[in-house]
């Protein structure tokens, strides 16, 4: 595989640091040290800190889209939704340490009154639309968007509490509860079959 460009490495490390320590608390010096380049070199690749943030959000949107596509390998909409729910299990350690990357970034940008806030929220939009498609395929057309938003909210709540209390049991039991919730949704009248 081609070796990553400096720009790629800046994006990658910035992505990690924004997640782990927050956007505001991450300085150019921190990113420079993580990448292993000089501070002044940034401005050849990004013209401002906000520019890096934009790139990180783009990057997260692209990765999210790719992940959602992967989950579509499961033919059954129900299983696709389960993939989403179990993402919290897969990312358990990071969620307990830093919360949800989407939720925490969006929340921070809201408080900073930052222009990029709505673009960060658009990542939630990607999840919501994709989940709504799956719920619609399960026969919940009219309330598909609402169910998607509900599921997103439940996930966010789990992430916030699990990281606040560093409580793995809470995370796993709430994930189980979400799967039960999914399988008990009514009415079940799939579009086809």
Give yes or no for residue 40 binding DNA (CB under 7 A).
yes
Give yes or no for residue 27 binding DNA (CB under 7 A).
yes
Give yes or no for residue 30 binding DNA (CB under 7 A).
yes
To the nearest whole angstrom, how small is the minimum distance from the Cβ of residue 115 to DNA? 13
- Asked whether 166 and 96 are in contact (CB, 8 A), the reply is yes
Span from 26-34, 99-107, 144-152, 165-173 in contact with DNA (CB under 7 A): 26-34
Which C-beta is closer to a second copy: that of 77 or that of 99? 99
Which C-beta is closer to DNA: that of 49 or that of 117? 49
Report the C-alpha gap between 1 and 10 in whole angstroms.
18
Residue choice 1, 2, 3, 29 for contact with DNA (CB under 7 A): 29
* CA dihedral over 87, 90, 96, 97, signed as positive or negative: negative
Nearest to 71 by CA among 34, 121, 126, 110: 126
- Asked whether 54 and 118 are in contact (CB, 8 A), the reply is no
Q: Which option in a second copy, DNA, none does residue 111 bind, with CB closer than 5 to 8 A by kind? A: a second copy
Nearest to 68 by CA among 127, 121, 125: 127
Which C-beta is closer to DNA: that of 40 or that of 187? 40
Give yes or no for residue 86 binding DNA (CB under 7 A).
no
Query: By the criterion CB under 8 A, which residues form the site for a second copy?
Result: 20-22, 24-25, 97-99, 103-104, 106-108, 110-113, 120-121, 124, 146, 149-150, 152-158, 160-161, 163-165, 167, 170, 173-174, 177
* CA dihedral over 58, 59, 63, 66, signed as positive or negative: positive
Give yes or no for residue 41 binding DNA (CB under 7 A).
yes
Report the C-alpha gap between 193 and 191 in whole angstroms.
7
Residue 69 vs residues 25, 65, 72, 138: alpha-carbon distances, Å: 33, 6, 5, 18
Give yes or no for residue 37 binding DNA (CB under 7 A).
yes
Residues at the contact surface with DNA, assessed by CB under 7 A: 5-6, 26-30, 36-45, 47-50
């Amino acid at each position: 595989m081609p070796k990553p460009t400096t720009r790629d490495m800046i994006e990658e490390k910035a992505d990690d640091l924004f997640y782990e320590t927050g956007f505001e608390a991450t300085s150019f010096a921190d990113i420079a040290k993580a990448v292993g380049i000089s501070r002044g070199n940034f401005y050849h690749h990004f013209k401002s800190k906000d520019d890096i943030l934009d790139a990180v959000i783009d990057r997260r949107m692209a990765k999210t889209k790719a992940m959602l596509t992967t989950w579509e390998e499961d033919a059954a909409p129900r299983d696709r939704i389960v993939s989403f729910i179990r993402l919290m299990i897969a990312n358990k350690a990071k969620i307990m340490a830093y919360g949800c990357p989407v939720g925490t970034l969006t929340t921070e940008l809201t408080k900073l009154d930052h222009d990029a806030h709505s673009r960060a929220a658009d990542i939630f939009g990607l999840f919501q639309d994709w989940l709504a498609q799956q719920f619609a395929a399960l026969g919940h057309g009219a309330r598909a968007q609402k169910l998607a938003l509900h599921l997103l909210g439940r996930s966010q709540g789990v992430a916030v509490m699990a990281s606040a209390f560093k409580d793995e049991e809470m995370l796993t039991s709430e994930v189980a509860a979400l799967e039960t919730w999914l399988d008990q949704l009514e009415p079940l009248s799939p579009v086809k079959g």
